[in-house]
A = this chain, B = another copy of it.
């Protein structure tokens, strides 16, 4: 009997591990994932690749896997886009709320390159019709994404550039799983925060002076993660808590190694 249980556990683990490294897909029951599996494809996307432009027909859901990251950009009258929220292996982009076939409102861009899983929106909707539990997982994720955007709106309204810089670096690291570096130029960081480049450099300098991080050409090395947390606003944590309440286990944590499970 113990043998049987163990076999079941191993086969289930194997089944889950064969899925793309996306927590939303991995959280689905076997039966639910089986509805989607025939339509899921995986490939690599390069940084800066555009997944959607405003006005595009939304036909494919993209799931960032592993360290890849997507971002929602809102176009601006100046031509410079403003970055809003980051989506990594905890989620997906494209038709999550609209359920597809509406013109995209934002631009969606690959921030950090890597593997993405893809799924036709119509196939996903058909599967949702067949499985309420599948529908609920995606409705719950949609709610988490909404929470993320609400929090960003508030954050942009009242938190300082310094706080938002620290927050962004932490959020990116949580999602990529990289413990101490973020591949980003000062220019990119500035753009994504919607501030001038020189000020972004200055904020990073102040962090460096305090021993929190080091700067390299094209990347930021974090030396003291807790120091960074101390300097960040709490927006990330609020969103993380909502994820935990609504979709436990989907938001990536630092100790995400499989061996941490107690059985």
Contact = CB atoms under 8 A, between A and B. Distances in A.
A104 to B, nearest CB: 9
A74 interface: yes
B102 A143 contact: yes
A102 B150 contact: no
A82 interface: yes
Interface string A61-105: 000000000001010110000101100000000000111001101
Contact of A146 (B98, B157, B158, B234): B98
Interface in A104-125: 105-106
Interface string A149-171: 11111101110000000000000
Contacts of A203: none
Contacts of A77: 233-234
B139 A99 contact: yes
A247 to B, nearest CB: 10
Contacts of A105: 143, 146-147, 150, 242
Copies per assembly: 2
B194 A157 contact: yes
B102 A158 contact: no
B102 A154 contact: no
A157 B156 contact: yes
Interface residues of A, number: 36
A252 to B, nearest CB: 20
Give the most central of A85, A154, A156: most B CB within 10 Å: A154
Contacts of A150: 72, 74, 84, 105-106, 149
A184 interface: no
Contact of A149 (B82, B99, B149): B149
A246 interface: yes
Nearest to A85: B153
A245 interface: yes
A248 interface: no
Which 6 A-B pairs rank lowest in CB-CB distance, beginning with the nearest?
A: A74-B154, A156-B156, A98-B143, A157-B194, A82-B154, A105-B147
Nearest to A106: B150
A74 B139 CA distance: 21
A142 interface: yes
